[in-house]
Structure formats: structure tokens, C-alpha cells
């Protein structure tokens, strides 16, 4: 008999992959995650029930993404990590203040209980905020709905905005792009001639990332799978260990699977709630997107980062999803992931302790 979890995961992946191909055909950015998420969300909203996947499933996908980022580390990234600490703290404080303001406004506009409104407005992660709301006996459906629509809104709008800027920035350097393709083709040819050694290095890279990711997840570090694998692989790379970059198909597999798993959160109960709160959900989602864009442009002007990296680093779309988009658009994935992680850690540490004092 086929295990129900395995069957569910297989269906989620293939349906999600169809969504990815549709968005790729339409030349929309972030298609692997967003396309999969939207396809599965549409089916889930119609009442389709999925078997519960093992708790480690999401961690595996985070490890793959974190390992991919870690492979980009070099000695100069140590300086980068130090330089983003202050911007990370400042953007976190701004996000906390903005979230509290949005939560109070949401409660006054809709009559939603204040605690529920505050947790619905905090960009601390869809699963994380839902679990905290459950612990405080708040309305989990409303909290999850606002978090879900926020993720969808940001992952549809921000990647599109930065991709338009990215395409304009790339105009006039077509020859340079051809050189890159040529180099990649040459590299692929060399890899085929050394299949056994390449596979061994890839497995070693995944093992290192897995140890770091699952250890960080075990000790309770937010997005531990991503951060732990990124740091362990990054440290090994900067130390001179010849770890092999992961193949593109494996990265796409992780992106499609992650998006599909997120899509299973959009239950019929959320659809019913969404219909009654349509305007507030859309209105506050737009405000959160605009707030992230404003901070991103400030980073671009003040810190001198490229605009793509600035917008992705400050968007409240989640560390994993924004990092994936950074990889797709050749932004500085290290800066994006670290800044997102700093903000998430601060929000998860501060908000659950701050909000009860406001109720």
C-alpha cells in the first residue's frame, strides 16, 4: 500500500510543477514557488484535503536553498555579514512599529479582536504566527489568512517589480550574457566527464548543509534549515573546502515543493473568511507591500546596494521565498537571506512578548 504522505507529496509536486511551467511560459518571475503555491491553493480552497506531511519536509527544502546560498560564500562575505547588522536592526524596528500600527487600525476598522489583528499584521511567518495565535487562543483562521494573502501579494508583486528593473539594467550587456552561457556550457561538459566525482561532491555538500540545517532547526532557530545549512556550507567554502554547487534541477524541485506545501494552508474556512474581510485583507496587504518597497528604496539610496537586492531584502515575504527570488534574479542572495533572517529573529523574539502587554 502506498504511503498517503508520499502520495500527497507526489501530487503536490506534479501539480505545483504545472503551475511553475505556466508562469515560466508567461515569463513571470518567482514561478517555481508562486506558480506552485497558487495552483495548490486553488485546489485546497475547493475542499481537497491533503495528508499531513512529515514535520521535517519543510526543513529539507530549506536546507537545499540554504546550501545553495552557502555555496556562494567567499571570504569577502564575512565583511558583508558585519555591515548588514545595523540595517537589519533598523529595518526590524521599523517593521515592528509599522505592524503594531496596522494591527490597531485593522482592529478598529473591522472589529476583529486586537490580539488577532496584531498577530495577523506581524510579518513573522505564516506557520509561526499561526502557532502563536493558537497558543494564545486567538482566531487562527484570520491570522493565517492575513499572513497567507500577504505572502501571495508580496511574491506576486515584488519579484515582478525587481525583474522589470533587472531587465532594464541588463540592456546593452547581451554580449556579456552570451559569455556566461558559453562558460556554463563548457562547465556542463566538464561535469559530464567527471560524473562520479561530481556526484560525490554534491552529496558531501548536501550532507554538510543537512547537518547544519537540522541542528539549527533542532535548537529552535527560526528558519533554522535555511540559516544552519547556509552558515555551515558557507564556513566550509570560505575555509577552502571544495564543496560542489547543487544542480539547478534540485533547486527547482525544492522551490516547487515548498510553494506547494504553503498552498495547502489555504483551506475552505479561509476562503469563507476572505469573502467577509475582502477589503481589509487587500488594503492591508497593499500597505505592507508599499512599506517594504519604501524601505528598500531607502536602502538603495543610502547604503548603495543594487535595487533588486534592496527590495528583496526588505520585503516582508519571508526569508526562504525572498532568498529564492534573489537567486533567480542574480541578486545578492547572502545579503537578502541574512537581512530577512535578522528581521525574523527579532520579530519572533520581540512581538510575542510585546503584544500581550498591549491587550
For residue range 57-95, what is the model confidence (pLDDT) as tens digits?
A: 888 888 988 888 788 777 666 666 677 888 888 888 888
Q: Is position 332 within any domain?
A: yes
Q: Which domain holds residue 261?
A: 4-168+227-358
Q: What is the mean pLDDT of residues 245-274?
A: 84
Q: Is position 210 within any domain?
A: no
Task: Report residue 263 as a C-alpha cell.
Answer: 498552498
Contact predicate 246/66, CB 8 Å: no
- Would residue 330 be called left, alpha or beta, if left means φ above 0 and alpha means ψ between -120 and 50 degrees? left
Q: pLDDT tens digits, residue range 13-34?
A: 999 999 889 888 877 666 677 7
Structure confidence at residue 212 (pLDDT): 92
Query: The pTM is what?
Result: 0.67
End-to-end CA distance of the chain: 51
Q: Is position 284 within any domain?
A: yes
Count other C-beta atoms under 10 Å from residue 94's C-beta. 16
Q: Is position 242 within any domain?
A: yes
Structure confidence at residue 177 (pLDDT): 46
Q: Is position 217 within any domain?
A: no
Distance (Å, whole) CA 205 – CA 215: 16
pLDDT band at 164 (very low <50, low <70, confident <90, very high): confident
Number of independent structural domains in the chain: 1
Contact predicate 279/305, CB 8 Å: no
Q: What is the mean pLDDT of residues 324-346?
A: 80
Report CA-CA distances (Å) from 120 to 102, 303, 320, 321: 9, 31, 20, 19
Distance (Å, whole) CA 142 – CA 305: 36
Q: Which of 240, 231, 221 is nearest to 345 (CA)?
A: 221
State the average pLDDT for the chain.
79
Helices (runs of H) and strands (runs of E) counted in the chain? 17, 0
Q: What is the 3-state secondary structure (H, E, C) of 81-93?
A: HHHCHHHHHHHHH
User: 307 or 175: whose pLDDT is higher?
Assistant: 307
User: 256 or 351: whose pLDDT is higher?
Assistant: 256
pLDDT band at 1 (very low <50, low <70, confident <90, very high): very low
Structure confidence at residue 13 (pLDDT): 92
Q: Is position 251 within any domain?
A: yes
Structure confidence at residue 184 (pLDDT): 46
Q: Which of 300, 232, 332, 331 is nearest to 87 (CA)?
A: 300
Amino acid at each position: 500500500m502506498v504511503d498517503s504522505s508520499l502520495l500527497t507529496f507526489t501530487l503536490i509536486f506534479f501539480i505545483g510543477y504545472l503551475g511553475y511551467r505556466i508562469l515560466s511560459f508567461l515569463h513571470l518571475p518567482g514561478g517555481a514557488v508562486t506558480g506552485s503555491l497558487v495552483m495548490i491553493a486553488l485546489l485546497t480552497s475547493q475542499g481537497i484535503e491533503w495528508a499531513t506531511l512529515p514535520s521535517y519536509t519543510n526543513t529539507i527544502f530549506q536546507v537545499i536553498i540554504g546550501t545553495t546560498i552557502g555555496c556562494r560564500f567567499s571570504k569577502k562575505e564575512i565583511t558583508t555579514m558585519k555591515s548588514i547588522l545595523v540595517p537589519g536592526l533598523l529595518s526590524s524596528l521599523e517593521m515592528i512599529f509599522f505592524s503594531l500600527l496596522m494591527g490597531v487600525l485593522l482592529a478598529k476598522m473591522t472589529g476583529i479582536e486586537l490580539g488577532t489583528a496584531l498577530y495577523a499584521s506581524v510579518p513573522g511567518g505564516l506557520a509561526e504566527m499561526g502557532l502563536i495565535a493558537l497558543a494564545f487562543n486567538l482566531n487562527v483562521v484570520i491570522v493565517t489568512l492575513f499572513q497567507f494573502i500577504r505572502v501571495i501579494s508580496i511574491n506576486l508583486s515584488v519579484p515582478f517589480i525587481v525583474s522589470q528593473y533587472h531587465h532594464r539594467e541588463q540592456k546593452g550587456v547581451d554580449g556579456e550574457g552570451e559569455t556566461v552561457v558559453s562558460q556554463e556550457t563548457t562547465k556542463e561538459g566538464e561535469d559530464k566527464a567527471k560524473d562520479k566525482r561530481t556526484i560525490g561532491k554534491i552529496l558531501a555538500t548536501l550532507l554538510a548543509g543537512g547537518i547544519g540545517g537540522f541542528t539549527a532547526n533542532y535548537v529552535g532557530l527560526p528558519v533554522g534549515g535555511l540559516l544552519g545549512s547556509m552558515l555551515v556550507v558557507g564556513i566550509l567554502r570560505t575555509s577552502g573546502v571544495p564543496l560542489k554547487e547543487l544542480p539547478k534541477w534540485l533547486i527547482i524541485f525544492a522551490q516547487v515543493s515548498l510553494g506547494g506545501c504553503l498552498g495547502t494552508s489555504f483551506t475552505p474556512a479561509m476562503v469563507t473568511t476572505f469573502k467577509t474581510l475582502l477589503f481589509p485583507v487587500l488594503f492591508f496587504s497593499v500597505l505592507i507591500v508599499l512599506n517594504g518597497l519604501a524601505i528598500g528604496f531607502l536602502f538603495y539610496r543610502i547604503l548603495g546596494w543594487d535595487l533588486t537586492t534592496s527590495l528583496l531584502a526588505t520585503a516582508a515575504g519571508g526569508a526562504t521565498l525572498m532568498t529564492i527570488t534573489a537567486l533567480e534574479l542574480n541578486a545578492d542572495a547572502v545579503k537578502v537571506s541574512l537581512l530577512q533572517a535578522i528581521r525574523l529573529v527579532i520579530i519572533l523574539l520581540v512581538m510575542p512578548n510585546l503584544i500581550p502587554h498591549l491587550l
